Amino acid sequence: MAKDTTHFGYQSIPIGEKIGKVASVFHSVASRYDLMNDLMSFGLHRLWKRLAIAKCALKPHHVVLDLAGGTGDLTRIIAKKLNHTGSVTLADINASMLSKGRESLLNAGIVSPVNFTQANAEMLPFTNNSFNCITMAFGLRNVTTKEYALKEMFRVLKPGGRVVILEFSEVTSDNFKKLYDTYSFAVLPKLGKWICQDEESYRYLAESIRMHPNQETLKLMMQDAGFMQCEYQNLQAGIVAVHLGFKF
């Protein structure tokens, strides 16, 4: 693929168009995003997120960045663990998702210690060595240049800190892969049409998962960005994987 083009699902598009196209997807689905997550994962996304948080090894005084935090699922759990001593910043490039996250957290009575920032993962508006931990759940595959985002995460992470990335990945079972592909391309878009009146956004979701780097490739990309002791854990036969890396 030429350097001036990138993927949007299976489409090849000019690199400058991806942010707008991804923004359109999430503006469209923001209001029903949490409901769709529950339906399409059969509620498993909540377990996956808790497993990811467990790998953060959070301490009450930690300063945490929940990048591409969307509607605030991870931020909610993190804030409770910090217990008003540390802080967590929910950052997302999409204003609709960020607004939904703020609303969701306020409705849950979670005000402190949460901050909100609209930010592009490729150009984070934070100083070097700012955070003890960075989380990113189901956001990296939507980033235009993932290498830039990983380097930015490394830059703003404190020495001794860790990054935890939860993302859809490559299914490890050939038999299960056939069933998963049928669900992804035949069922998921129809579910999106029924719940969100948006079939194309969920077709993009299925395609973007297939275009995302697999487990080993993402591990190497994290190492190239500077992270050390990188590892991953497959969940549900590799439907998703939790990646862990450290800055020393």
State pLDDT tens for residues 148-161.
999 999 999 999 99
- Domain boundaries in the chain? 5-246
| Contact (Cβ atoms closer than 8 angstroms) between residue 88 and residue 114 | yes
Could you tell me the fold of the domain covering 5-246? Rossmann fold (3.40.50)
| Contact (Cβ atoms closer than 8 angstroms) between residue 171 and residue 177 | yes
pLDDT at position 2, please? 52
Q: Which of 178, 158, 181 is nearest to 168 (CA)?
A: 181
pLDDT at position 96, please? 92
Regions in the chain scoring below 50 on pLDDT = none
- Kindly list the distances between the CA atom of residue 198 and the CA atoms of 25, 30, 55, 69, 211, in Å, as whole numbers in the listed order: 9, 11, 34, 22, 21
pLDDT at position 28, please? 83
- Kindly list the distances between the CA atom of residue 39 and the CA atoms of 35, 196, 198, in Å, as whole numbers in the listed order: 6, 12, 15
Q: Which of 173, 239, 178 is nearest to 212 (CA)?
A: 239
pLDDT at position 34, please? 83
CA atoms of 178 and 169, how far apart (whole Å): 15
Q: Which residues touch 33 (CB under 8 Å, ≥6 apart)? A: 26, 70, 71, 97, 100
pLDDT at position 32, please? 80
- Whole-prediction pTM value? 0.92
Task: Assess whether the previous peptide bond of 113 is cis (omega < 30° from 0).
Answer: yes
Give just the sign of the alpha carbon dihedral 103, 104, 109, 114.
negative
Give just the sign of the alpha carbon dihedral 17, 25, 28, 189.
positive
pLDDT digit string (tens) for 35-55? Answer: 888 888 999 999 999 999 999
